[in-house]
Chains A and B, each alone.
Chain A
Amino acid sequence: MSRIKNPFSVNRVATASIATGLALVLTACGGGTDSPTPNDVATNTEGQSEELSGEVTLIAHDSFTFPDELIADFEEKTGLTLNVTTTGDGGQLANQLVLTKDAPLADAFFGVDNSFVTGLIEAGAVDPYTPESLGESATEFAADDAGSVTPVDHGYVCFNADDAWFEENGLAAPETLDDLTDEAYRGLTVVMDPTASSPGAAMLFATVAKFGEDGYRDYWTKLLANDTKVVQGWSDAYYVDFSGGGEDGQYPIVVSYNTSPAYTVAEGSDESTTSVLLDTCTRQVEYAGVLAGAKNPAGARAVIDYLVSQDFQDTVAETMYMYPVLPSGAVPDEWQNWAPVPQHSLDLAPDQITANRAAWLDEWSQLAG
């Protein structure tokens, strides 16, 4: 399948990072170790070189894919042996890492998102590290000023509409969050329970960003009063209830991703039957990091370096359905055509989410009953 370069690339500052694998090799020259082969060496944050050897373990959530050929490539470039282990979803992963911080489960982690990451940092579970190669283009994704963790990919949770349904019913599709509380759209929306689903929680945080800590409860009261259906998970909402999911659902508006319309293009058609409400999007960023107390911290840093290398970043969109954090990372053609990136998104700072997450979820639970 053909690939195109990321269309929303801001600049090309990151050209230096095009091959972090290469950087791993080159830094050996300035390191001044007595290691005979440059392949065994990498830089750490202080710019000193150190031995790379032995095994390194990466822990990630269930949806993570590290393609086999890239594992081989990583091992060849670094001389390390890489074990990839997986566990639960992103929320489970974050909480397991906090719980086991005195005896970490791995050397490095991937897949804690912006709504959980501050908790991980504050618990002291992370050994701060951001590869220098990442460059300035990634600062907009940073979780904190200290660069404690490294952003690897990002995506958007947005309301989606079934255009075909709206056309058939002679109704204009909604555009904003406020539209969804309008009488005209009564009983047309399905959302996910934020206490059970991570895109569901992301949408709750988006409404806090939009309406403020005081206003979001009113918004949800109105939204739920407008006969909005609440279900427990994304697959449930999209495949059972959403009319555009191809499975005879009855609700033409659903919480999903900005890339979803790229997957509802009928065979032989050049148009998607669904679209994104671009004013209702919120950004999710997934981070990787070195775990405090890692047995092989140098190896862990090499893994992080590799996750933001061009080779790995080129696979992120295809395997994880997220945008690579490198502007030069490849994304599928269909996304270009049918999954426009929102110009602005409804975001909160990660530390704000961590500080209030329990309270907001609790308040939401009370008003949803």
Chain B
Amino acid sequence: MLPVLGWTSTVLIPLAFIGIFFAWPVVTLIVRGFTADGAVDLTGFADVFSRTSTWRVIGQTLLQATLGTVGAVILGLPGAYVVSRLRFRGRAALRAWITVPFVLPTVVVGVAFRSLLGEGGPLAFLDWDQTLPAVVWALVFFNYAVVVRTVGALWERLDPRPVQAARVLGASPLRAFVTVTLPQLRPAIAAAASLVFLFCSTAFGIVMVLGGRRFANLEAEIYRQTTQLLDLRAAAVLSIAQLVIVSIALYVSSRLRTRRETALNLAAVATTSRRIQRADLPAVIVTGATITVLHVLPLASLVARSLRDAQGWGFGNYTALATQGSRDALTSTVWEALATSVRLALAATVIAMIIGLLLVTVLSRRPGKPLARRGIATIDGFVMLPLGVSAVTVGFGLLLTMYQPFGWDIDLRSSGVLIPIAQAVVAVPLVIRLVLPVVRAIDPRLRHAAAVLGASPVRVLATVDWPIAARSVGLATGFAMAASLGEFGATSFLVRPDSVTMPVIIFQLIGRQGAQNYGMALAAAVVLGLVTTIIIMAAERLRDAGAGEF
């Protein structure tokens, strides 16, 4: 084991980070909501919960998050199989491409979906504009990649021999999947489902745009109460409701995960994937259809529209990206904003990877003492919370707490450093859920053997854990980058010293009059998607260069 000091700091550094930049601001804002003239005032609960709209909003949040999660998992499993167990040309590009929705600004995606679904659009016959199916479609669109990649990261490492044995013994492919593979994948599926549930229950812009008033969720209601009405009391009550829902979801998911989580026989990736065979066709067809309907349709309409300007078809919108908009209405060009975004995302990714991997090291251990086990489960739940709490609550909370925190003579709020930090806080849960299932599946006996043979704890990490986890670390890096590149919520609630990010500039462009601005907004969104694809492909290549297969 690591010396006590090493373990203590491995636990304390990430917890302090999340405590300071997440828990403290959120608690401060909630407390502010319940204090009136220096006295505690809890009448807000009765007040807010007596409104019928509150219950509708809570019901919608649960319904949408459940449907979104179920949809993403059902469609994502065949997708995970295809991208992790099958070999075909363009697999790396496909893996990167399905992650694109993750970074697209919701305001643009909202317009793209509504142009398809709205009256006059090609899919108007569905009559889905401002309905629940539209919201769920969009939620699955954003989260499909989370399931495919989280589950795929474990699946590509599963030893194929147990399935082969089952088949030889006469099991049908389906039966072999249900009895052998599915139980082994369960921890990763539960991890993915909990991520998707949190993303869905805090989805904001897209639910507002596609669902309209009738399908508003808690996040949208908190936004209205805080930014439109400055009703901190109602916002605090709703934030607590959100925390309760998220905590229950996390508890359920951790029960599902740990009951079946055992060491697995992990194999080298090279040995597990093969060419497409006849038996793979159902999975290939489902995945092809899913990606076509889910991704190609909305994204193609976006790309097609971005290639049209006042002169007709062409790259006019793209050449305009080098300017400051029609009439120089922007403070910087889109390319400058892209550079800012990449810079911030790099900083956020470094922070998220350091904090995330420290936590993975802690959370992957299985101590014998029940108290320690419960401690680890609690930490696991706590570090997930940032995904499940409103960006508005965190953003306003940071404004309240980060003026000269701890008496330091520095106003962190306007220094700009809070932006990558806030993005990292949200990316840490992603890193953990992507890497942890693989690391937890490592047989602890490998580590014990190494330790017995005299390897130091650091050496055990370097020689046992790292080679197996490296691929998912690469994947997590790509996802953390993507999450940060597309992040709009926290960035827009924090104060930005004269640096505009891509999502912000796209938001500015689409909110301004003039067809050229609209065209530029769509072109900028396409560029953001392309850059993300490239970054994710590069991040996944890194892992192969960085660590050989074992």
Name A's B-contacting residues (CB within 8 A): 1, 57, 59, 62-63, 65-68, 83-89, 91-92, 94-96, 98-100, 103, 105-106, 119, 193, 195-196, 201, 230-236, 239-241, 246-250, 256-257, 259-260, 262-264, 267, 318-321, 332, 357-358, 361, 365, 368-369
CB distance from B336 to the nearest CB of A (A): 11
Q: A105 with B496: in contact, given A233-B209, A247-B115 (CB under 8 Å)?
A: no
- CB of A85 within 8 A of CB of B498, answer yes
Please report the C-alpha to C-alpha distance between residue A332 and residue B64 in the assembled complex, in whole angstroms. Answer: 47
In the complex, residue of chain A having the shortest beta-carbon distance to the beta carbon of B518: A239
Which single member of A91, A263, A365, A369 contacts B515 (CB below 8 Å)?
A263
CB distance from A266 to the nearest CB of B (A): 8
CB distance from A189 to the nearest CB of B (A): 13
Residues of B contacting A267 in the complex (Cβ-Cβ under 8 angstroms)? 310-311
Q: A236 with B403: in contact, given A87-B494, A96-B396, A193-B213 (CB under 8 Å)?
A: no
CB distance from B136 to the nearest CB of A (A): 18
Please report the C-alpha to C-alpha distance between residue A259 and residue B311 in the assembled complex, in whole angstroms. Answer: 23
In the complex, residue of chain A having the shortest beta-carbon distance to the beta carbon of B396: A99
CB distance from B71 to the nearest CB of A (A): 23
- CB of A59 within 8 A of CB of B495, answer yes
Please report the C-alpha to C-alpha distance between residue A257 and residue B513 in the assembled complex, in whole angstroms. Answer: 9
Q: A98 with B114: in contact, given A63-B512, A230-B212 (CB under 8 Å)?
A: no
Which single member of B209, B220, B330, B515 contacts A65 (CB below 8 Å)?
B330
Residues of A contacting B396 in the complex (Cβ-Cβ under 8 angstroms)? 95-96, 99
- CB of B413 within 8 A of CB of A105, answer yes
Does B107 interact with chain A (Cβ within 8 Å)? Answer: yes
Does B214 interact with chain A (Cβ within 8 Å)? Answer: yes
Residues of B contacting A96 in the complex (Cβ-Cβ under 8 angstroms)? 396, 399, 493
Please report the C-alpha to C-alpha distance between residue A260 and residue B213 in the assembled complex, in whole angstroms. Answer: 26
Residues of B contacting A98 in the complex (Cβ-Cβ under 8 angstroms)? 230
- CB of A62 within 8 A of CB of B508, answer yes
In the complex, residue of chain B having the shortest beta-carbon distance to the beta carbon of A100: B399
Q: A105 with B414: in contact, given A91-B227, A95-B227, A249-B118 (CB under 8 Å)?
A: yes
- CB of A88 within 8 A of CB of B493, answer yes
Q: Which of A319, A368, A369 has the most CB of B within 10 A?
A: A319
Residues of B contacting A257 in the complex (Cβ-Cβ under 8 angstroms)? 513
Number of inter-chain CB pairs below 8 Å:
164
Does B340 interact with chain A (Cβ within 8 Å)? Answer: no
- CB of A263 within 8 A of CB of B226, answer no
- CB of A358 within 8 A of CB of B229, answer yes
Does B110 interact with chain A (Cβ within 8 Å)? Answer: yes
In the complex, residue of chain B having the shortest beta-carbon distance to the beta carbon of A104: B403
Which single member of A85, A95, A201, A361 contacts B495 (CB below 8 Å)?
A85
In the complex, residue of chain B having the shortest beta-carbon distance to the beta carbon of A94: B230
- CB of B414 within 8 A of CB of A106, answer yes
Please report the C-alpha to C-alpha distance between residue A100 and residue B495 in the assembled complex, in whole angstroms. Answer: 12
Q: A240 with B118: in contact, given A57-B414, A87-B492, A106-B414 (CB under 8 Å)?
A: yes
- CB of B115 within 8 A of CB of A240, answer yes
Does B120 interact with chain A (Cβ within 8 Å)? Answer: yes
Does B549 interact with chain A (Cβ within 8 Å)? Answer: no
- CB of B110 within 8 A of CB of A318, answer no
- CB of A88 within 8 A of CB of B227, answer yes
Please report the C-alpha to C-alpha distance between residue A78 and residue B510 in the assembled complex, in whole angstroms. Answer: 35
Residues of A contacting B497 in the complex (Cβ-Cβ under 8 angstroms)? 83-85
Q: A232 with B227: in contact, given A85-B495, A319-B328 (CB under 8 Å)?
A: no
In the complex, residue of chain B having the shortest beta-carbon distance to the beta carbon of A315: B328
CB distance from B250 to the nearest CB of A (A): 29
Residues of B contacting A196 in the complex (Cβ-Cβ under 8 angstroms)? 208, 220, 224, 228
Which single member of A59, A106, A235, A332 contacts B111 (CB below 8 Å)?
A235
Does B379 interact with chain A (Cβ within 8 Å)? Answer: no
Name B's A-contacting residues (CB within 8 A): 53, 107, 110-111, 114-115, 118-121, 130, 208-209, 212-214, 220, 224, 226-232, 305, 310-311, 327-331, 396, 399-400, 403-404, 411, 413-414, 492-498, 500, 504, 507-508, 510-515, 518
CB distance from B192 to the nearest CB of A (A): 29
Please report the C-alpha to C-alpha distance between residue A335 and residue B515 in the assembled complex, in whole angstroms. Answer: 16
- CB of B511 within 8 A of CB of A235, answer yes
Please report the C-alpha to C-alpha distance between residue A264 and residue B517 in the assembled complex, in whole angstroms. Answer: 13
Residues of A contacting B228 in the complex (Cβ-Cβ under 8 angstroms)? 91, 195-196, 201, 361
- CB of B403 within 8 A of CB of A103, answer yes
Q: A95 with B107: in contact, given A321-B512, A368-B213 (CB under 8 Å)?
A: no
Residues of A contacting B404 in the complex (Cβ-Cβ under 8 angstroms)? 103
Please report the C-alpha to C-alpha distance between residue A57 and residue B79 in the assembled complex, in whole angstroms. Answer: 50
- CB of B400 within 8 A of CB of A67, answer no
Please report the C-alpha to C-alpha distance between residue A321 and residue B513 in the assembled complex, in whole angstroms. Answer: 8
- CB of A240 within 8 A of CB of B399, answer no
- CB of B399 within 8 A of CB of A99, answer yes
Please report the C-alpha to C-alpha distance between residue A196 and residue B207 in the assembled complex, in whole angstroms. Answer: 12
11 A-B pairs within 8 Å (CB atoms) are namely A86-B500, A96-B396, A106-B414, A232-B208, A235-B111, A239-B510, A247-B305, A264-B515, A319-B327, A358-B229, A361-B228
In the complex, residue of chain B having the shortest beta-carbon distance to the beta carbon of A266: B310
Q: A65 with B399: in contact, given A57-B414, A105-B414, A239-B518 (CB under 8 Å)?
A: no
Q: A62 with B492: in contact, given A236-B209, A247-B115, A321-B512 (CB under 8 Å)?
A: yes
Please report the C-alpha to C-alpha distance between residue A231 and residue B118 in the assembled complex, in whole angstroms. Answer: 11
Which single member of B120, B121, B209 contacts A232 (CB below 8 Å)?
B209
- CB of A318 within 8 A of CB of B400, answer no
Q: Which of A92, A94, A100, A264 has the most CB of B within 10 A?
A: A92
Please report the C-alpha to C-alpha distance between residue A92 and residue B224 in the assembled complex, in whole angstroms. Answer: 10
CB distance from B416 to the nearest CB of A (A): 9
Please report the C-alpha to C-alpha distance between residue A39 and residue B220 in the assembled complex, in whole angstroms. Answer: 49
Please report the C-alpha to C-alpha distance between residue A59 and residue B327 in the assembled complex, in whole angstroms. Answer: 23
Residues of B contacting A247 in the complex (Cβ-Cβ under 8 angstroms)? 115, 305, 518
In the complex, residue of chain B having the shortest beta-carbon distance to the beta carbon of A264: B515
Which single member of B114, B403, B507 contacts A62 (CB below 8 Å)?
B507
